[in-house]
Amino acid sequence: MTDQITPPAGDTSLAADLELDCKGLLCPLPVYRTAQALNRLRAGQILRVECTDPGSLADFPALARQRNLTLLSAADHEGVQVFHLRKEDE
Amino acid sequence: MKAEARVGNGGNGNGRRRLALVASKGTLDGAYPPLILAATAASLGWEVGIFFTFYGLDILHKKRHRKLQVAPLGNPAMPVPVPNLVGALPGMTAAATRMMKGWMKRSNMPTVPEFLDIARESGVKLFACSTTMGVMGISEKDLMPGADIAGATAFLDFAADADVSLFV
């Protein structure tokens, strides 16, 4: 897939409707838990996820593509990756 | 572009991508990759089916799947290389298995039975190879609830419309 989404890297100050702590978890758990959390959100709502699996920097843009989410931000702060995902209409 | 990337090849007619896996190994290290891929694909909204065949059927076996092991014998990938002569000694397979289970626990990774629960709750189809059951004397009551007994034909019918097919 060549059309990588390039998210605004540093904007972690976005308000979120739901926050998810996936620190200390490895693939596939951050994506699995994120998918479960998304089921609790309506279209337009924003999920904030914190991870410490460095693979998540590649995985969350892919998750956004596959689940038709908008990745509003993806940032790495001292080993913690923070993502904001907006759920869109199915 | 995003919508286009999301939609499957359409072969299965419902616009969802489909993953078809064959799990053929009945070892601890062989059980994790198909289960991890299945849980991930289900999280992406894909349809997933795993065909558990030959020793891979032990992953679906109620008793055996708690006792899957990793062997140091003939395995040059141990973190501390174990010479085969030593790896062949009694207790070495149990030691390597304890070590790997320790890594998994420290990394907060689910156990094999926990991954199967995740797979079932995520709607992953679990095909139990009926030939393996016949050859190895395994009956339906030996298997995890939710396993579908099937031959290669039923699995290939599912896999024919898959976007991704992998043999593990």
Contacts across the A-B interface (CB distance below 8 Å): 49
What does each C-alpha distance from B10 to B47, B160, B166 come to in angstroms? Answer: 12, 12, 19
Task: Look at residue B78 in the predicted model and tell me its pLDDT.
Answer: 85
Q: What is the pLDDT of residues A30-79, one digit of tens each?
A: 999 999 999 999 999 999 999 999 999 999 999 999 999 999 999 998 99
Task: Look at residue B20 in the predicted model and tell me its pLDDT.
Answer: 98
The CATH class for the domain spanning B14-167 reads: alpha beta
DSSP state for residue B24 in the 8-state scheme: -
Cα–Cα distance measured from residue B82 to residue A21, given in angstroms and rounded to the nearest whole number: 38
Question: Which residues does chain B have within 8 Å of residue A60's beta carbon, measured at their own beta carbons?
Answer: none
Closest CA–CA distance from residue A66 to any residue of chain B (Å):
5
Cα–Cα distance measured from residue A31 to residue B41, given in angstroms and rounded to the nearest whole number: 10
DSSP state for residue B76 in the 8-state scheme: T
Q: Give B155's strand partners.
A: none
User: Could you list the active site residues of A?
Assistant: 27
Q: Which two tokens stand for residue B107?
A: 């990394």
What domains appear along chain A, each with residue ranges and CATH number? 18-87 (3.30.110.40)
Could you give the percent of chain B with pLDDT greater than 70?
92
Contact predicate B160/B11, CB 8 Å:
yes
Cα within 13 Å of Cα(B67), Cβ side: 5
Interface ipTM? 0.87
Q: Give B127's strand partners.
A: B51, B148
Question: Which residues does chain B have within 8 Å of residue A29's beta carbon, measured at their own beta carbons?
Answer: 108-110
Helix %, strand %, coil % for chain B, to 5? 45, 15, 40
pLDDT in tens, chain B (168 residues): 333 444 444 456 688 999 999 999 999 999 999 999 999 999 999 999 999 999 999 999 999 999 999 999 999 998 888 899 999 999 999 999 999 999 999 999 999 999 999 999 999 999 999 999 999 999 999 999 999 999 999 999 999 999 999 999
Interface touch B36/A28, C-beta < 8 Å: yes
pLDDT over 80 (residue A13): no
Q: Which two tokens stand for residue A70?
A: 């908008």
DSSP state for residue B133 in the 8-state scheme: H
Query: Domain boundaries in chain B?
Result: 14-167
**Can you spell out the DSSP letters for chain A?**
--------SS------SEEEEETT--TTHHHHHHHHHHTT--TT-EEEEEE--TTHHHHHHHHHHHHTEEEEEEEEETTEEEEEEEE---
Interface touch A3/B36, C-beta < 8 Å: no
Cα–Cα distance measured from residue B23 to residue B34, given in angstroms and rounded to the nearest whole number: 6
Q: What is the pLDDT of residues B53-86, one digit of tens each?
A: 999 999 999 999 999 999 999 999 988 888 999 9
